[in-house]
Amino acid sequence: MNVSHKNTTPFLKWAGGKRQLLNQIRPRIPNFTGQYIEPFMGAAAVFFDLAPQRGWLNDINTELVNCFCMVRDSVDALIEQLAGYEYDKDMYYQTRELDRAKGGLSCLTEIERAARFIYLNRTGFNGLYRVNSKGQFNVPFGKYKNPDIINKDRLLACHKMLKNILITQSDFRKILSSVGSNDFVYIDPPYYPLSVTSHFTDYDSSTFADEEQAELADYLFYFNRKNIKFLASNSAHPRTYELYRGLNITQVYAKRVINSDANKRASVAELLVSNQ
């Protein structure tokens, strides 16, 4: 496909999201005739900016995948459900605690789970998604002036773009093993940590450790040998430079806002890796 960009804003906030790097990413996305594939979708900022007609979005996060499916399949019911939420600290913690109740989130419908996910995302601290070892969401209440919980127009725009898109919850290895020769893959995994305290986006009780980072690098070199087009993001860590040596590596800078102290939210070096 010839690449065109619609600049649609994702319906979720996302720690480590790629919205502020889109100007760096766009020139590095080649034309391709197959489908767009993203095995670690997060908020899918690159997908929504590119607006491909054929695509496959995937993530290991159960609630995130359900939320995307509801935006694609039942957006009107989702908007109606979201109308019952307010920016209120007590409501936030009551909603957050639902995964700790007997039966957990299995007691909720898919629409209720998706609305809860968006509400916590829009009103929690910095759009962070983090769970404890029991898989319970534990992000604190965020302090905002007037957070936009519903944003109907944005949800409808994202719904339109997702209508013909495959959305799955699977291991990244399964997705990358299914890439076709004409596809384009954007790979934005959990980053190699720059410090022992920088694992701030745990989706579940597991982590994306050095073994997984090395496996991912092996796929990139396989794609490179087969001339399959890809672009990958990761942290500017000595280990990632080592893993990707021999591919095209560009260092870019993004301002990350995880720190609660605004004065400490400095620009952080990241890598864009490709075979183009």
Tell me the per-residue pLDDT of 196-224, one tens digit each, with 9 for 90 and over: 545 444 545 457 889 999 999 999 999 99
Q: Is residue 49 predicted with pLDDT exceeding 50? A: yes
Domain residue ranges of the chain, discontinuous segments joined by +: 19-61+161-274, 67-158
* Interval 239-275: pLDDT, tens: 999 999 999 999 999 876 555 455 555 788 999 999 9
- Assign 133 a pLDDT band (cuts: 50, 70, 90): confident
User: What pTM did the predictor assign?
Assistant: 0.92
| Same fold? 19-61+161-274, 67-158 | no
The C-alpha atoms of residue 120 and residue 29 are separated, in whole angstroms, by: 32
Token pair listed for 127: 């759009």
- For residue 61, count other CB atoms closer than 10 A to its CB: 19
Question: Could you say which of 2.40.50.100, 1.10.1020.10, 3.90.70.10, 3.30.70.1400 is the CATH number of the domain covering 67-158?
Answer: 1.10.1020.10
Relative orientation angle of helices 110-123 and 89-96, to the nearest 10 degrees: 130
CATH superfamily of this structure's domain 19-61+161-274: Vaccinia Virus protein VP39 (3.40.50.150)
Q: How far apart are CA 259 and CA 23, in angstroms?
A: 24
